[in-house]
A and B are shown apart, each in its own frame.
Chain A
Amino acid sequence: MTSAGNQEVGQPSAVIRDQIREFVRDSLASPKGIASFTDTESLTENGVVDSLGIFRLVSFLEDTFGTRISDEEITAQNLSSIELIEQLVVSKQQK
């Protein structure tokens, strides 16, 4: 379950964070005209992520990090900032 994707298990979290930030910036924030955001900023409050964006983000995480994210895990606690998303991915890779 953890090694199905194209990433090695135990990848440094800084690299994971960069990949997440890049996807969120290019695919979710830029098309909405949002130029910058911090790693701890709430992506739901600043409007970067909308109801469709959530599922694009989840697909990206599943495809890139070879992990499966269940509907129950799609919550604000797991996905509302770059930092929280990184923590989710890291915790899933450690399992």
Chain B
Amino acid sequence: MRARLLPNRIRETMAYILQQLLSKSAALYPDKMAVWAREKSLTYRELDERSNQLAHLLRQNGLKKGDRVGLYFPKAVESIVCMFAVLKAGGVYVPLDPQAPTDRIAYIISNCGIRILLTNYEKRQGLDAGTLQALDLCVLTDQTPKASNGAHVIPWTMLAEFPTMEPTAVELTEIDLAYILYTSGSTGRPKGVMLSHQNALTFVEWCAATFQVRSEDRLSNHAPLHFDLSVFDVYNAIEAGATVYLVTEDMALFPTTLAGFIESKQITIWYSVPSALILLLLHANLKPEKLPHLRTILFAGEVFPMKYLRLLAELLPAVELYNLYGPTETNVCTYFRVERERLAGMDKLPIGKACANTEVFAVNDQDEVVTVPGETGELFVRGPAVTYGYWADAEKTQKMVVPNRFQRHFEEKMYRTGDLVMLGEDGYYYFLGRRDSMIKSRGYRIELGEIESALLSHPGVREAAAVAIPDELVGNRIKAIVAPHDSQSLKSVDLQHYCSLRIPKYMIPEIIEFCPDLPKTSTGKIDRVQLVRSAMPVAS
């Protein structure tokens, strides 16, 4: 309501909480398409009003400031309504992977104390009785009003009974949490990265300025919503009054379908993991004349193999290409605009330099900041984009979000990425590898320890190790080596099935090898170096 009456004042005010981006654009472009998915779309007015209605509904049903609300259904226009509604109601949304095993979903729901779930009939049906018991309310985004065991269930049609004007403001500041993104945890359970409005807006504002997102733009959203790449797609589209087109899970699998989507929706800005772009390159018969609107391609999440990047740069000579780097804990912290004239002579792509309002530096083994080109160190990040830490995990938080010892005058925190980098002659940072056993596959962060702990929880498994086999297309494939208690009875398909109930599909080892004992180092630890070496020839 305020937005409608005072568009000029809203326009002049700098957003400090994410929902203000929508209020501003809804006032400026009420009839423009804001979001499209599965042949459905919403204008800015509709998105604003529907999220207001859902916010009222949530408040009236007990949502209090700071409450966590789960979003658990396949991507749809309702996803964006839900995100804004939770924020407008003063809550914190938690996007849950609709394809993850329900055991993992149940853990997350209990870990961050979700009492309200925005879901659909089918996904809700899949939850166990204990989880349903712990919920106070489920709002179903499809129309089915039945099924009311456990939590109180409200169908989407009920939204119509709530006012379309913005709910009276909950007092929020930029340091309040906006969302929590769960990522793989080394101790066997996922960990929730807490992100505030300020964390997100620091990134969104940098993107708006750097990529000059305009209201005529059409952005794709390829990444799942529980993946931080989607923060750009959704919030920068809304910030600019542009349109975001959600790529649904099934569409993403078929390269020619995806290329047809980019063409027919006249996508201007594309953002995804490199592996999605490589599949498009190899199997979609991309033609630059069919993509005249595409102006910018952003990629992040894993290393883009140079030979494919050169191919992409040649195929789409007019498109600007950017390599973005950053763990979920900082969103994006460095970037590199691909310089085509340098590509032929480059053997490695830099992760670049720090984004605005962010500082990055490498710290070497002598605990000094790296200043000399060619030197390596662990990358640290400071600034308002850095997370507070992990939900309900003070120990892990203290390890990763640490006091900045280089700051002598006041207390502040910085994030240690665990990534080893080199400072290049060109002044850009180059990614070298990890300090720990985290790997990437299709851009997903995977802690090998989480896979091992799933395997070890099987009663037939005595020892287990997971190793990564580098792969050009997807970054890494996963192999496990298992020493069973009784060599007769355990089969790899059984173990894979067992894993599928505990960890997401992209984490399940593709190959499981059995051996009587795992190789050990002289100190009795599992010899990972030997395991990795012997795993290499298996790569297909």
Interface residues of A (CB under 8 A from B): 30-35, 42, 44-45, 47, 49-52, 54-55, 71-72, 74-76, 79-80
Contacts and interface: CB of A to CB of B under 8 A. Distances in A.
Contact of A44 (B253, B255, B474, B498): B253
B505 A50 contact: yes
B505 A32 contact: yes
Given A71-B256, A74-B254, A52 B99 contact: no
Contacts of A49: 253
B493 interface: yes
B500 A71 contact: no
B473 A52 contact: yes
Interface residues of B, number: 31
Contacts of A74: 254-256, 283
A45 B252 CA distance: 11
Contacts of A51: 252-253, 275-276, 279, 442, 474
Nearest to A35: B497
B341 interface: no
Contacts of A79: 254
Contact of B250 (A33, A44, A52): A44
B496 A30 contact: yes
B360 interface: no
A33 B253 contact: no
B157 to A, nearest CB: 25
Nearest to A26: B493
Interface of B: 99, 249-257, 275-276, 279, 283-285, 442, 473-474, 492-493, 496-501, 505-506, 508, 510
Contacts of A52: 473-474
A31 B507 CA distance: 11
Contacts of A75: 254, 256-257
Q: Is the interface of B mostly helix, strand, loop or mixed?
A: helix
Nearest to A72: B256
29 contacts: A30-B497, A31-B493, A31-B508, A31-B510, A33-B497, A33-B499, A33-B501, A33-B508, A34-B497, A34-B500, A35-B497, A44-B250, A44-B253, A47-B99, A49-B253, A51-B252, A51-B276, A51-B474, A52-B473, A55-B283, A72-B256, A72-B285, A74-B254, A75-B256, A76-B250, A76-B254, A76-B257, A79-B254, A80-B250
Contact of A42 (B250, B257, B442): B250
Contact of A32 (B442, B473, B500): B500
A74 B253 CA distance: 9
A24 B506 CA distance: 17
A55 B249 CA distance: 17
A50 B99 CA distance: 12
A76 B255 CA distance: 10
B158 to A, nearest CB: 27
A31 B492 CA distance: 8
Contacts of A76: 250-251, 253-254, 257
Contacts of B255: 71, 74
Contacts of B279: 51
A20 B283 CA distance: 22
A32 B496 contact: yes
Given A30-B493, A33-B498, 9 more contacts: A30-B496, A33-B508, A34-B500, A44-B249, A47-B99, A51-B279, A71-B285, A72-B256, A76-B254
A45 B99 CA distance: 9
A89 to B, nearest CB: 18
B254 A45 contact: no
Contacts of B251: 76
Contact of A33 (B283, B285, B474, B496): B496
Contacts of A71: 255-256, 283-285
Contacts of A47: 99, 505
Nearest to B279: A51
A88 to B, nearest CB: 13
B257 to A, nearest CB: 6
A72 B284 CA distance: 7
Interface centre among A51, A52, A72, A80, by most chain B C-beta atoms within 10 angstroms, is A51
